[in-house]
Structure 1
């Protein structure tokens, strides 16, 4: 005790605790800043935030990749010219190419050669097979000018009139499947986020009740001297908000670092079957700046949910104490 504390009133805290000045006693927090339960709650919130951020990031990646796939596929149409007895498939292919090029909405037409068309079958038939005796169709890829409403009915009529064995595919069915898959992915992500939030609320509720039980004598004394429920609740609210923010920063930061290094990790596996599959599914596996902003907002939201759940539990517990 220094010279300035000699004239300050002392508060008797009992034989087992040292006597401290009244000012020091008033400034000490109701809830201990560092405790086992507090550290455990930080760990729980950090884990929940990390899982929620990884789920949100994965949904954003899949949604962005699906949007790019749909845009690329919607900008192309595929025409197949099948060989028919008595018709020259090469001549039919050339005629179809000229018919497609005359359409004002088509900006580019690329016919595949016989070898290129046969190469498309290698993933299913393997290599080294002779396809000379098989009726391999010729493939024509036509790019549509962006923003153009293509007259597919008229285009199909012209193509069929030019080559009866030709068929036009605008990939509409595939695009619908992609939209359904993306919607299912987003729905699953929302479900996982809901489960994470529910688990966070339950964990915070138990931690709050534990803190209230450990500090019940202090709360009763505060009530005895006239402290309101709002005064006590605000002290606990600040404590759990700080714990929630700490856990949110740790979990959200870890998720951001994971996505930040994911592009480098994907580069290490580039050229391998696993790496190619992930690149086809998720692109470069890197979030856009807006994605990182979403993760940061989500981390703050989980901290706010932690404080909200703590306050609701506090008020219910204080009613029981009263």
Structure 2
């Protein structure tokens, strides 16, 4: 393989054998301690990046389900007031709700059930019989035939002035804000992980260039194209990046598969129910697998591009 350029001075005084570089000799060593270390770093970073990306997807999907579930319910509070029969008011309010299009069910909570709702706030064992405890009516709304809640409030106010309809819009907004914050944090962690990986790749490339400095400079002096030298580094580092991304991506898929299996085992427990309510059943679905595959390919491409860019910058400084 000759690297002499026609623009270079004639090399009659250089031994012919010095012009030849064995084609089977790799410019960047195929396997080394530094290379194996870089594969481990890329695998860990890819695993963490895939974890952050899919957790963001899980939280976003769970948030949609949370808000959808909450939006299908509304509550009516009937407050006891002097001069009115609270039981009759509860019955009138429930009948008004049941006659309204878009309301599938109106469940009246008994007085003991309404008092039990206050127990977490007031403590156990407190006698609430003498307190003016509001009575609760839980409404199940039709998702397809949505009720006109503003009109419903007006009808309820005319029928039972001491009743208040709550459609949980404040709670839904807070759920949305919480989910957006969680997704933003996961996205920020994802960016930081990729930045840390880029720094590791850049450091490994500079170390490889420094280790092979004499070879790189000789090739540059005798006329080897900068693109050829950079491609050698790019090819080697892309292979290392692909290997690390494959390990990290495979580990992420195995993690989510194990998490889904354990979630199914724990589903019957109280903690399992709460985890499923928060994050679902840890099923990332086809979109999650696509994200991991794209991430692995992106990591390999990023590794190759960074190594090529750094080597070209180094060669440009050599002049």
Q: TM-score normalized by structure 2?
A: 0.87
Q: Mean Cα displacement is larger for which, 184-193 or 206-215?
A: 184-193
Unaligned runs of 5+ in 1: 1-10, 14-21
Match of 1:280 in 2: 277
Q: Is 1:182–2:179 an aligned residue pair?
A: yes
Alignment of 1:134-283 (within 5 A): 134-270=131-267, 274-283=271-280
Alignment of 1:38-49 (within 5 A): 38-49=35-46
Distance 1:274 1:147 in 2: 32
Q: Does the 8 A contact of 2:220 with 2:315 survive in 1?
A: no
| Structure-2 change in CA distance of 1:71 and 1:57 (3 Å) | same
Q: Is 1:105–2:102 an aligned residue pair?
A: yes
Q: Is 1:90–2:95 an aligned residue pair?
A: no
Distance 1:152 1:56 in 2: 38
Aligned equivalent of 2:68, options 58, 62, 71 = 71
Structure 1 residue matching 2:82: 3-state secondary structure = coil
Distance 1:285 1:123 in 2: 30
Distance 1:298 1:175 in 2: 32
Distance 1:116 1:27 in 2: 82
Match of 1:122 in 2: 119
Alpha-carbon distance, 1:245 to partner: 0.9
Alpha-carbon distance, 1:119 to partner: 2.7
Q: Deviations over 1:152-179 (max 9, x none)?
A: 2211111122222211111111111111
| Structure-2 change in CA distance of 1:277 and 1:144 (3 Å) | closer
Match of 2:11 in 1: none
Distance 2:118 2:17 in 1: 88
Structure 1 residue matching 2:29: 3-state secondary structure = coil
Q: Mean Cα displacement is larger for which, 271-280 or 87-96?
A: 271-280
Alpha-carbon distance, 1:114 to partner: 2.1
Q: Deviations over 1:192-218 (max 9, x none)?
A: 122112111111111101111111222
Structure 2 residue matching 1:123: 3-state secondary structure = helix
Aligned equivalent of 2:314, options 301, 310, 317 = 317
Q: Is 1:53–2:50 an aligned residue pair?
A: yes
Distance 1:30 1:175 in 2: 60
Q: TM-score normalized by structure 1?
A: 0.86
Q: Is 1:131–2:116 an aligned residue pair?
A: no
Distance 1:121 1:310 in 2: 63
Alpha-carbon distance, 1:38 to partner: 0.7
| Structure-2 change in CA distance of 1:277 and 1:145 (3 Å) | closer
Distance 2:255 2:303 in 1: 24
Alpha-carbon distance, 1:149 to partner: 4.6
Alpha-carbon distance, 1:115 to partner: 2.7
Alpha-carbon distance, 1:108 to partner: 2.1
Q: Deviations over 1:33-56 (max 9, x none)?
A: 111111111111111111111111
Unaligned runs of 5+ in 2: 1-15
Match of 1:29 in 2: 26
